[in-house]
Structure 1
Amino acid sequence: MNKIKMICLDIDGTLLNSEHKISKKTKEVIEIVANQKQIPVILVSARMPKGILFLQKELNIEQPIICYSGALVMDKDANILSNCSIEVSEVRQVHNFVKEIGVHMSLYKDDEWYIEEIDEWSSQESAITNIAPNVINFTDLFNVWEQEKSGPNKLLCMAEPNKIKALDLLIKSYHSNNLNIYPSKPTYLEIMPSNVSKTSAIEILMSKFNIQRSEIIAIGDNYNDISMIEFAGVGVAMGNAPEGVKRYADYITSTNDEDGVAMAIKKYIIS
């Protein structure tokens, strides 16, 4: 097996435990690989930049970040390496479905989070991420984006599981080829441009660092992590991952509450 030269690490359900914290043991192991062994530790998430950068600071690492599951890639100096967005016409259609079913919808563009009104879902997300959203009329925002010929990097829909399932089916019946749609948990439906993935973003950084896929370890816990788990030289699924994710992994580590990231890094790099 080739020597590992890059670690690609999902955040929620992987790096963070169920209390949304990084354990002491995981911090210690990442400190060793990032600062002693000089191996880039890349945080790869569906989160916005603000939701990733404070975790980098906590880990004492300075590296590029992959946001919105690959739709936005930034280097360590916040220069944009890649930026993909969803067309406003698609966003309007999803917004219509959301209103019809009664689902919360958040829009993310660059490093901003937009909602139409504060509700239990936005309050919950704000508490998890420590980020405050911008409250704005979506119709006005759509008009601005149409004039700018731009759009959001990500849509996040939140509701009870039965509504999320209904919305997922409805959107896929209209937009199966244009959007990348997946439930990140029973109450969350995440929507990104169809031409991006965590793997497509990792490939950008492979060129930057001159690293081969066989030299990468990727660790994740959810369906949007499958592509990078399958792609990497060593693909690791967390113990708390669904069976549908675990089947793609080379190794299944402990859960996010049992220092699974630290265990995998020790196994493949430190030992």
Structure 2
Amino acid sequence: MTNYKLLALDMDGTLLNDELHISDKNLHWIQKAIEHGVIVMLSTGRGFINAVDYAHNIGLDAPMITVNGGEIWSKPYVLLERKTLQASWVAKLHELTKQFPQTWFWAYTTERIYNKDSWHEVSEPLTAHDWLKFGYYDEDISIIEQIRQQIEAWQSLEISNSSIYNLEINPLGVSKASALEQLCSYLSIDMKEVIAVGDSLNDIKAIQAVGLGVAMANAQDEVKAAANAVTFSNNEHGVAEVIRRYIFNGEEEL
């Protein structure tokens, strides 16, 4: 085995296949890594409520990073830190949606997700909620780029994505990398002892910050360029291959 102590896994497009399932091969190698003392954890743009069942199904009693680093959990249901998005920014991000009436949008609070169809259910004032993240989705990439340019001009928010068709907005400085750094300090683990695996822009900073950053074969080109290595796709048990190759030194076949 190598000296890596922590494996941080993105979910959609990485650990999960296109049917949103964890393959038997991925599960087998995750369990093998855990048995050998490696901390295997989820690091996702999803909210906690949409990620925790996967952690339970894998049997992970480990830290979690949710909403792109907005929430850090020392283990499921035990919150270590939360960084919220100011209601004034939520108001501004929502106002921007009015320029693009066909674009889908959503926003996470600590309690639930509101989206374009349910925004009328948001109780006023916005400060009555603890906001975590705002997002936009449009299959017209030119629209996504126009929205990105406007938000970038504000120079006050963290912008990433989990697909080429979306934008995910967090408070400035919040990322999976910053959350991993905080977790590693909490766990007394060096960032060089961490492997981070992902496929989208919300994974880049973590991939660049750790000892080994791995991109999926299905990852966005910018993610592949930032990574130390590229594994198989999410439909070809790419996570299992990362564990086999870099934690167990390729000692047996996948």
Q: Same fold (TM over 0.5)?
A: yes
Q: 1:182 to 1:214 in 2, by over 3 A?
A: closer
Q: In the TM superposition, what is the alpha-carbon distance from 1:94 to its structure 2 partner?
A: 1.3
**Unaligned segments of structure 1, at least 5 residues:** 118-134
Taking the aligned partners of 2:41 and 2:191, their CA distance within structure 1 comes to 14
Q: 2:181 aligns with which of 203, 210, 234?
A: 203
Q: 1:77 to 1:61 in 2, by over 3 A?
A: closer
Taking the aligned partners of 2:16 and 2:76, their CA distance within structure 1 comes to 24
Residue 147 of structure 2: aligned partner: 167
How does 1:32-181 map onto structure 2 within 5 Å? 32-34=32-34, 36-102=35-101, 103-117=103-117, 135-137=118-120, 141-143=123-125, 145-146=126-127, 148=128, 151-161=130-140, 162-173=142-153, 175=154, 177-181=155-159
Residue 125 of structure 1: aligned partner: none
Taking the aligned partners of 1:182 and 1:13, their CA distance within structure 2 comes to 15
Q: In the TM superposition, what is the alpha-carbon distance from 1:169 to its structure 2 partner?
A: 2.0
Q: In the TM superposition, what is the alpha-carbon distance from 1:160 to its structure 2 partner?
A: 2.9
Taking the aligned partners of 1:62 and 1:111, their CA distance within structure 2 comes to 22
Taking the aligned partners of 1:92 and 1:153, their CA distance within structure 2 comes to 13
Residue 129 of structure 1: aligned partner: none
Q: Look up the SS of the partner of 2:8 in the other structure.
A: strand
Taking the aligned partners of 1:237 and 1:116, their CA distance within structure 2 comes to 32
Q: Following TM superposition, where does structure 1 have runs of at least 4 consecutive aligned residues deviating by more than 6 angstroms?
A: none
* Alpha-carbon RMSD: 1.9
* Aligned residues with identical type, % of pairs: 31
Q: Look up the SS of the partner of 1:14 in the other structure.
A: coil
Judging by fraction of residues, say which structure has more helix: 1
Q: 1:69 to 1:77 in 2, by over 3 A?
A: closer
Are 1:72 and 1:110, in contact at CA under 8 Å, matched by a contact in 2?
Answer: no
Residue 17 of structure 1: aligned partner: 17
**Unaligned segments of structure 2, at least 5 residues:** 250-254
How many residue pairs match? The answer is 247
Q: Look up the SS of the partner of 2:144 in the other structure.
A: helix
Q: In the TM superposition, what is the alpha-carbon distance from 1:163 to its structure 2 partner?
A: 2.6
1:259 aligns with 2:237: yes
Q: 1:252 to 1:77 in 2, by over 3 A?
A: closer
Residue 236 of structure 1: aligned partner: 214
Q: 1:229 to 1:137 in 2, by over 3 A?
A: same
Are 1:2 and 1:214, in contact at CA under 8 Å, matched by a contact in 2?
Answer: no
TM-score, normalised by the number of residues in structure 2: 0.90
Q: In the TM superposition, what is the alpha-carbon distance from 1:111 to its structure 2 partner?
A: 4.3
Taking the aligned partners of 1:182 and 1:225, their CA distance within structure 2 comes to 9
Taking the aligned partners of 2:119 and 2:95, their CA distance within structure 1 comes to 17
Residue 252 of structure 2: aligned partner: none
Instruction: Letter of the 1:268 partner, please give it.
Output: Y
Taking the aligned partners of 1:136 and 1:241, their CA distance within structure 2 comes to 32
